[in-house]
Amino acid sequence: MAEQTIICIGCPLGCHVTLKVDKDGEIEALTGNQCKEGREYVIAEFRAPVRVFTATVLTEAGGRLLAVRTDKPVHKGQLKELMAVVAKLRMAPPVKAGQVLVPNILGTGADLVASSSI
């Protein structure tokens, strides 16, 4: 059985919530939260810690950068991989904000979309 601490980001308390996790990866016990929203957040964060990925993409030599984002949060472990993909992208204008640049990027289920326009 293992222990893991997750910090709840729901309110300025920032409770450090301790999870006791069994060998199958299931939560056995959860302590340290001060509200039920916090409990729900920590459980969700434990099961699938997700983040919205944002970055910039290079356009043609010297041109203005394009800001990009995933339209949905993705697993936080994939951020660096996503960055490696984005690093190789080169976009040429015109690109409209909201335009899908890479659908279902790296199989995450999220699209990489333009967050600004060029």
Partner 1 sequence: MISQDIDVAVIGGGPAGLAAAIKVKEVGLDKVVIIERGEYLGGLLDQCIHNGFGLFYFNEDLTGPEYGRRFIEKANDLGVESLLKTMVVRLLPDRKIAISNDKGFTYLSPKAIILAMGCRERSRESLSIPGTRPAGIFTAGTAQRYVNIEGYIPGREVVVLGSGDVGMIMARRLTLEGVKVKAIVEVLPYVGGLIRNEVQCLHDFDIPILLQHTVTEIRGQERVEAVTIAKVDKDWNPIAGTERMIQCDTLLVSAGLIPENELSRMAGIALDPVTQGPVVDENMQSSAAGIFAAGNVVHVNDLVDNVSWEGEAAGASAAKFALGKAMVKKVRIRLKAGENIRYIVPQTIARGEEIVLSVRVKEPAEHVRLNVGELRSQGMRAVKPSEMVKVSLSSKEWEKMGSGVDELLVTCESRRG
Partner 2 sequence: MGNLLETQVLIIGAGTTGTAIARELSKYKVDTILLESREDIGMGETKASHGFIYSGGLTAAGSLVMKSVMLPSGQTAFNPRSRKTQMEHESIKEFPSLAKEMEVGLSHDRRLMLARDEGDLKMLKVAERICGDMGTKITWLDREGILEREPWVTKDVIAGIADEGYQLSVYPWDWAIALAENARQNGLRLLLLTEVIGIKPLGRGFLIYTNRGSIRTEFIINAAGPYADKVAKMAGVCDFGLTCTRSQMVILDKRVNLLNQSVSLAPKPGKVRTLRKTISGNIQTICSEYYPVSDPEDTTTLMNWTDQSIAGAQEMIPSISKKDIITSYVGVRVFNTRDPEEDILEVSKGNPRFLNAAIRLPGVSVTPAAARHIVNLLGIQGLELATKTDFNPHRKRIPKVSELPDEERRKLIAQDPRYGHIVCRCEEVSEGEIVEAIRRGARTVAGVKYRTRAGMGRCQRGFCGPRVLEILARELDIPMRKVTQMGGLSRVLLYRSKDLLGSGGLT
Positions in the binding site for partner 1 (CB under 8 A)? 7-9, 11-14, 34-35, 51-52, 54-56, 58, 64-65, 67, 69, 76, 79-80, 83, 97, 115-117
Of 44, 87, 92, 100, which lies in the binding site for partner 2, with binding defined by CB under 8 A? 87
Show Cβ contacts of residue 47 under 8 Å, excluding neighbours closer than 6 positions.
none
- Tell me if 58 contacts partner 2 by CB under 8 A: yes
Per-residue contact flags (x/-) with partner 2 for residues 10 to 49, judged by CB under 8 A: ----------------------------------------
92 touches partner 2 by CB under 8 A = no
The SS3 assignment for 36 reads: helix
- Give one DSSP letter per residue of 41-94, joined into a string: HHHHHHH--EE--EEEEEESTTPPPEEEEESS-EEGGGHHHHHHHHHH-EE-S-
Provide, rounded to whole angstroms, the least separation between the CB of residue 24 and partner 1. 25
